[in-house]
């Protein structure tokens, strides 16, 4: 293990990983030997739709035409249509693009995995499968074959369509069809990704084959392409699905703060956790002058050439690239018109920033603030802003301290903002974009928001359940910094549980080629849930982080914030007053303590 010079508050460890060792450990990649090349010839791979052998979708009037699970259960075609999952529709989920089968109800629309060879092409960071298990959670090992003759194994797990976790589902449908009638029970479908060997072109995929296991059904399969040429400059995690407005024929104008700049821009909208589509009538981007007022005329965005778009339940949409000079370290106005009634939406609850909602009409292109008559302090639907060029992004996976709770509203004094400014003002490492994926009340190993339905709890699903969406699928992610765990121990989780969760985060991130950095948990004595027992668990997690080597480096945020005379408490100068959250000064101290060299892979 190599050691680097340290800066106050930073524990540095670098592990030297051989390329072959990393690929073998995380992707199962092995070269094809001459003996393997001489194996008997097998039929070539086929498109997935030519392998369909199961009927999962039925018309509500003819439920017996499908039998997804072997007992007559099936998905409702009407429910799928209501969710926006129509035959042949291209769906973007967690950065992957998958096509819902172009089939009629009662006809084959999925394949039960049994070692079939599937024609799949492309380069990217992961394979994306649209799947569900029947008869329980279904798992199996398959093979990826690459154009260069190498191959790798992967492990695919499909949660059960009736009992799998709602926190990780891509869409939940309200009914299950049976020959005896429709049941008011939720059916679930999942998008699951598995890592690929970096830079290698996929030629085909062999589906898992584990006899005797529950059936693993595959509806669609694709390579999740990379995001070459783009850098994430701003992001926000979907923290829950909450009541809004209600809004009908209203324009939402969100204020977001960039980290890095670039000559072109695109935005990302997500309908995470939703049960119904949301229609975007139009959208624009502008630099903020003040309040809801734009500096110059807002520029219109398009979506696959159209003025607006529809976001199916659980899906996302990127706008088309737009020539627009995005300044670094500046506020943008991202505006979108909602022509149809919206009573609940996926949102980030703790924006620590005022945004705006108009009176009736499409006011996305208005430079004037006059139409924007009300304010909100959440970020609904918008989850990302990217700029062209740049070196990629650092993703900060955290809780309320990363989210900026107790920082000054509208001032962009979260520690990720200060870190972004430091990166801009130096030349020792690339000037990465900084993506803030903090969620107030979030935990490593337990969900606060259940993952489905309208809820007042916006603490999000666990870091483990949101890792793919909020880290691995983020634009040009290079490094992840994990700063979570205090909410776990405050609510009774053991250090062993938190450590296991953090270790899984590190393993999964490294399998996708990310550099992994962890931060020790800050002190919080004096806050009602920060008991002596919770502090003991916190200290045990921190001891693991300081002494272990699961992460490439460790930032000692505990050492930065604690009172030397009373180490279980935050230093009074850094305390916001609630003994849990640092104020502006403490947040700046965290950002200033980071050795920027640790962020570079």
Q: How confident is the model at residue 1 (pLDDT cuts 50, 70, 90)?
A: very low
- Distance from CA of residue 325 to its chain's centroid? 26
Question: What angle do helix axes 495-511 and 532-547 make, rounded to 10 degrees?
Answer: 40
Backbone angles phi, psi at 471, to 5 degrees: -130, -65
Whether residue 2 has pLDDT greater than 80: no
Interatomic CA distance for residues 182 and 58, integer angstroms? 11
At 15 the pLDDT is: 40
Interval 474-497: pLDDT, tens: 999 999 999 999 999 999 999 999
- What is the mean predicted confidence (pLDDT) over 531-544? 98
At 515 the pLDDT is: 98
Whether residue 241 has pLDDT greater than 90: yes
Q: Smallest Cα–Cα separation from 26: which of 548, 507, 550, 502?
A: 507
Interval 204-214: pLDDT, tens: 999 999 766 78
Backbone angles phi, psi at 66, to 5 degrees: -130, 150
Query: Percentage of residues in the chain with pLDDT exceeding 90?
Result: 91
Whether residue 14 has pLDDT greater than 70: no
Q: Smallest Cα–Cα separation from 23: which of 194, 196, 140?
A: 196
Q: Provide the 8-state DSSP code for 425.
A: T
The CA-CA-CA angle for residues 178, 183, 185, to 5°, reads 120
For residue 477, the SS3 value is strand
- What is the mean predicted confidence (pLDDT) over 500-528? 98
For residue 58, the SS3 value is strand
Q: Smallest Cα–Cα separation from 478: which of 169, 219, 231, 163?
A: 231
Q: 507 Cβ partners below 8 Å, 6+ apart?
A: 26, 550
Please answer whether residues 355 and 375 qualify as being in contact, where contact means their C-beta atoms are separated by less than 8 angstroms: yes
Domain 1-34+391-601 in CATH 1.10.600.10: no
At 211 the pLDDT is: 66
Q: 591 Cβ partners below 8 Å, 6+ apart?
A: 415, 416, 417, 418, 419, 422
Interatomic CA distance for residues 509 and 451, integer angstroms? 22
- What is the mean predicted confidence (pLDDT) over 72-89? 98
Q: How confident is the model at residue 325 (pLDDT cuts 50, 70, 90)?
A: very high
Whether residue 516 has pLDDT greater than 70: yes
Interatomic CA distance for residues 240 and 272, integer angstroms? 8
Interatomic CA distance for residues 144 and 150, integer angstroms? 9
Mean pLDDT computed over every residue of the chain: 93
At 23 the pLDDT is: 38
Whether residue 27 has pLDDT greater than 90: no
Q: How confident is the model at residue 13 (pLDDT cuts 50, 70, 90)?
A: very low
Cα distances (angstroms) measured from residue 14 to each of 4, 546, 600: 8, 13, 11
Cα distances (angstroms) measured from residue 404 to each of 179, 191, 309, 350, 436: 52, 31, 32, 8, 9
At 7 the pLDDT is: 36
Give the tokens for residue 5.
Answer: 């010079």
Domain extent listing, the chain:
1-34+391-601, 42-224
At 3 the pLDDT is: 37
Cα distances (angstroms) measured from residue 285 to each of 8, 203, 335, 561: 40, 39, 6, 38
Handedness of CA 337, 235, 294, 408 (dihedral sign): positive
Q: How confident is the model at residue 44 (pLDDT cuts 50, 70, 90)?
A: confident
Interval 439-450: pLDDT, tens: 999 999 999 999
Interval 565-598: pLDDT, tens: 999 999 999 999 999 999 999 999 999 999 999 9
At 116 the pLDDT is: 97
- What is the mean predicted confidence (pLDDT) over 236-244? 98
95 versus 36: the higher-pLDDT residue is 95
At 34 the pLDDT is: 31
- What is the mean predicted confidence (pLDDT) over 384-405? 98
Please answer whether residues 348 and 435 qualify as being in contact, where contact means their C-beta atoms are separated by less than 8 angstroms: no
At 282 the pLDDT is: 98
For residue 470, the SS3 value is helix
Whether residue 348 has pLDDT greater than 90: yes
Q: How confident is the model at residue 43 (pLDDT cuts 50, 70, 90)?
A: low
Give the range among 7-11, 83-87, 394-398 with minimum mean pLDDT.
Answer: 7-11
Backbone angles phi, psi at 37, to 5 degrees: -65, -25
Please answer whether residues 57 and 177 qualify as being in contact, where contact means their C-beta atoms are separated by less than 8 angstroms: no
Q: What is the pTM of this model?
A: 0.93
Helix segments in 244-380, DSSP class H? none
Interatomic CA distance for residues 479 and 467, integer angstroms? 13
Q: How confident is the model at residue 313 (pLDDT cuts 50, 70, 90)?
A: very high
Whether residue 69 has pLDDT greater than 60: yes
Interatomic CA distance for residues 194 and 205, integer angstroms? 12
Whether residue 470 has pLDDT greater than 70: yes
Helix segments in 374-494, DSSP class H? 400-403, 415-424, 463-467, 486-490
């Amino acid at each position: 293990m190599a050691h680097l010079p340290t800066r106050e508050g930073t524990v540095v460890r670098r592990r030297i990983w051989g390329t072959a060792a990393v690929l073998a450990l995380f992707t199962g990649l092995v070269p094809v030997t001459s003996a393997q090349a001489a194996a008997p010839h097998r039929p070539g791979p086929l498109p997935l739709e030519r392998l369909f052998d199961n009927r999962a979708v039925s018309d509500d009037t003819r439920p017996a035409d499908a039998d997804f699970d072997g007992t007559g259960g099936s998905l409702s075609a009407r429910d799928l249509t209501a969710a926006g999952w129509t035959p042949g529709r291209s769906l973007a989920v967690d950065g992957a693009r998958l096509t819902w089968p172009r089939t009629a109800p009662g006809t084959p629309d999925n394949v039960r995995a049994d070692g079939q060879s599937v024609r799949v092409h492309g380069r990217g960071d992961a394979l994306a499968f649209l799947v569900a298990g029947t008869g329980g959670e279904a798992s199996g090992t398959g093979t990826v074959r690459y154009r260069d003759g190498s191959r790798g194994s992967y492990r695919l797990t499909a949660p059960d369509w009736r009992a799998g976790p709602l926190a990780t589902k891509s869409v939940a449908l309200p009914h299950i069809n049976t020959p005896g009638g429709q049941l008011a029970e939720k059916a679930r479908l999942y998008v699951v990704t598995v890592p690929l060997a970096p830079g290698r072109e996929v030629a085909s995929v062999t589906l898992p084959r584990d006899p005797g296991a529950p059936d693993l059904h595959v509806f669609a399969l694709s390579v999740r392409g990379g995001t070459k040429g783009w850098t994430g400059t701003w992001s926000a995690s979907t923290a829950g699905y909450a009541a809004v407005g209600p809004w009908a024929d209203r324009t939402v104008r969100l204020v977001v703060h960039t980290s890095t700049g670039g000559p072109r821009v695109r935005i990302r909208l997500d309908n995470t956790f939703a049960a119904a589509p949301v229609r975007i009538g139009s959208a624009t981007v502008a630099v903020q002058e003040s309040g809801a007022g734009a500096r110059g005329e807002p520029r219109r965005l398009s979506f696959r050439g159209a003025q607006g778009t529809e976001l199916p339940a659980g899906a996302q949409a990127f706008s088309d690239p737009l020539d627009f000079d995005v300044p670094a370290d500046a506020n943008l106005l991202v505006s979108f018109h909602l022509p149809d009634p919206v009573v609940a939406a996926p949102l980030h609850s703790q924006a620590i920033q005022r945004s705006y909602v108009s009176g009736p009409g499409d006011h996305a292109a208005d430079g004037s603030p006059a139409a924007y008559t009300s304010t909100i302090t959440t970020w609904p639907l918008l989850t990302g802003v990217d700029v062209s060029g740049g070196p990629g992004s650092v993703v900060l996976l955290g809780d309320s301290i990363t989210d900026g709770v107790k920082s000054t509203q509208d001032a962009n004094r979260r520690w990720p903002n200060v870190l972004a400014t430091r990166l801009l003002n130096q030349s020792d490492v690339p000037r990465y974009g900084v993506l803030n994926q903090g969620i107030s009340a979030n935990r490593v190993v337990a969900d606060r928001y259940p993952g489905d339905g309208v809820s007042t709890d916006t603490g999000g699903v666990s870091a483990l359940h949101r890792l793919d969406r909020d880290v691995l699928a983020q634009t040009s992610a290079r490094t992840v910094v994990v700063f979570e765990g205090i909410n776990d121990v405050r609510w009774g989780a053991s250090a062993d549980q938190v450590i296991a969760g953090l270790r899984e985060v590190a393993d999964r991130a490294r399998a996708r080629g990310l550099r992994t950095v962890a931060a020790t948990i800050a002190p919080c004595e004096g806050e009602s849930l920060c008991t002596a027992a919770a502090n003991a668990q916190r200290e045990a997690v921190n001891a693991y982080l300081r002494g272990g080597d699961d992460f490439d480096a460790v930032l000692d945020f505990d050492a930065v914030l604690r009172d030397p005379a009373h180490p279980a408490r935050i230093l009074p100068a850094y305390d916001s007053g609630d003994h849990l959250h640092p104020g502006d000064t403490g947040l700046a101290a965290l950002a200033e303590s980071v050795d920027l060299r640790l962020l570079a892979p």
